[in-house]
Chain A
């Protein structure tokens, strides 16, 4: 998901850059960490999308005689206290993670881009106001904000999404703002303005394509953060609620029986680590290939 949009953004450039694109693709293919990351990321997508086909059991099917078993041929990752197959539950949990990541990252990317461009291009007071707004959001540690909001709404998947979106927006917005500020007085923007183009047109047609690239890389790196927030909140019982299986609920239920069987907390945690590794490697490789300057900034 993260590789394609950045390529299509590059594809919007003129014809002579084809060779440059080819070179970048080559650079990326030679980056072994990046390829490893890409494999893990594809694995994450495939296992989540095809979970119903891959899972040997229904995630909620009980098998009381085999409860709290370790890994066996029947249950590859063991079972929990109700005899549910942990492997199947983890596979289905990936669907929750994917849903949160896809919606959370794309919505916060879009809103962050919009607000960031407005802050960078708009009047000074709007810039100051938005910066203050972002700083205020940032002042809340994610989990603390989640706890405060849970008091209001009660735990749910929607709550997790809202938290994820609100806490991610400032990161995207600041990045978009900085790039927009740099573009604001370049010749082609000034020319466009003198021709009487509206602010909306300038931002959408001219600023956005130049600003969005680094944001897409940030989005790739943001996926594990989002997935971790979901798992963490669900683990505390503040996110997705049982019996829906998510990596967080598998960990939550596994933690209750940690003294009887270690397998659920092991199996519930591994996909979280693999997803983080995959997206981090992929994001770093994309950054090195497409925008080496960013490396210094982070």
Chain B
């Protein structure tokens, strides 16, 4: 287990570094003089010189990259071009909003999707199974940004039940939850279908295994068999799915944040791209990538921990 974990962690670090390098190279290919983009045409030569020195723009790009990476390890992601605010501070303010959104979305989807999948698998081809099947395909077929738009149309414009802008007053928990409902609904809806389908498929497989038949022969209650024994194994592919699908989940969160004008890392990247505030873009994208890699890593480690066979594959 430890060898697997160390190899897997090492690989993740390499991936984050490579991704950062790619991003760094990309943002340095932007045409135009970075100094005049950042400071505008009317900056005096002294200000320009100070900026060049501060951003190490007189160094070769490779050196700039290593300086950047070195700073990252000290928690310094650079500074906002306009306000000179540390990028790390801005991100640490925005990131919790995204995490709350993602976790809530995934949470409600799992709470509904996993039991739905279990029910369907226990009684295949029953009415409930069919309804679940249609419902799952239906939710998967509507892209999350479309769910956001249609949810706004139905719940905010037509019914006027829920607010659609912002994340609520800070400090007012009720208001914040109120503002979280629609975005979390939009981001999570497709996942209900994913969970239900995935759990149903692997559950059907597990229910045919010998140890389940043995448990049944012992006369254990059906519910005990399904939830205590079968689900524990049947949930594994779903955990991997969360790991792999976390990128899609983040994409969904980015859309939801932009559409609902909700603070968060996605909205931050979007706004900063429009403002051409590249240090912030660079830092925020890097944090997003790192987040994705860490989640994939965690899901792989959890699966390896539950299922020792996986450990030999790396």
Interface residues of A (CB under 8 A from B): 132, 135-136, 138-144, 147-152, 224, 228, 231-232, 235-236, 251, 255, 258-259, 262, 265-266, 269, 272-273, 276-277, 280-281, 295-296
Contacts and interface: CB of A to CB of B under 8 A. Distances in A.
B29 A152 contact: yes
Interface string B282-305: 000100110011000000000000
Given A143-B255, A277-B137, A132 B150 contact: no
A235 B273 contact: no
A141 B247 contact: yes
Nearest to A247: B146
A136 B15 contact: yes
B128 interface: no
B254 A265 contact: no
User: Chain A contact residues: over half helix, strand or loop, or mixed?
Assistant: helix
Q: Which 3 A-B pairs have the closest CB atoms?
A: A141-B247, A276-B141, A143-B251
A40 B276 CA distance: 42
Given A148-B269, A152-B29, A258-B152, 15 more contacts: A132-B15, A139-B15, A139-B19, A139-B247, A139-B289, A141-B254, A147-B270, A148-B23, A151-B27, A151-B30, A232-B143, A255-B259, A276-B143, A277-B141, A295-B201
Contact of B19 (A140, A259, A277): A140
A201 to B, nearest CB: 32
B26 A269 contact: no
B288 A141 contact: yes
Interface in B12-38: 14-16, 18-19, 22-23, 26-27, 29-30
A164 B182 CA distance: 28
B150 A265 contact: yes
B258 A148 contact: no
B94 to A, nearest CB: 14
18 contacts: A132-B11, A140-B19, A141-B288, A141-B292, A142-B247, A147-B285, A148-B273, A148-B285, A151-B27, A231-B146, A236-B258, A236-B270, A251-B149, A265-B149, A265-B150, A272-B143, A273-B141, A273-B146
A129 to B, nearest CB: 11
Given A139-B15, A277-B141, A272 B146 contact: yes
A265 B145 CA distance: 12
Contacts, number: 122
Contact of A228 (B22, B30, B137, B143): B143
B141 A152 contact: no
Interface of B: 11, 14-16, 18-19, 22-23, 26-27, 29-30, 137, 140-143, 145-146, 149-150, 152-153, 157-158, 201, 205, 247-248, 250-251, 254-255, 258-259, 266, 269-270, 273, 276, 278, 281, 285, 288-289, 292-293
Contacts of B15: 132, 135-136, 139
A141 B146 contact: no
Nearest to A143: B251
Contacts of A235: 145, 149
Contact of A262 (B142, B158, B205, B250): B158
Contact of B251 (A144, A272, A277): A144
Nearest to B133: A33
Contact of B278 (A149, A150, A151, A266): A151
Nearest to B259: A255
Nearest to B241: A298
B173 to A, nearest CB: 29
A232 B152 CA distance: 16
A265 B148 CA distance: 11
Nearest to A248: B145
Given A151-B281, A280-B137, A144 B26 contact: no
Nearest to B254: A143
B153 A139 contact: no
A136 B18 contact: yes
B157 A262 contact: yes
Nearest to B284: A144
B137 A258 contact: no
Contact of B153 (A144, A228, A262, A272): A262
A293 to B, nearest CB: 13
B30 A152 contact: yes
Given A140-B19, A144-B285, A276-B143, A150 B251 contact: no
Nearest to B31: A152
A177 B289 CA distance: 25
Nearest to B249: A141
B12 to A, nearest CB: 9
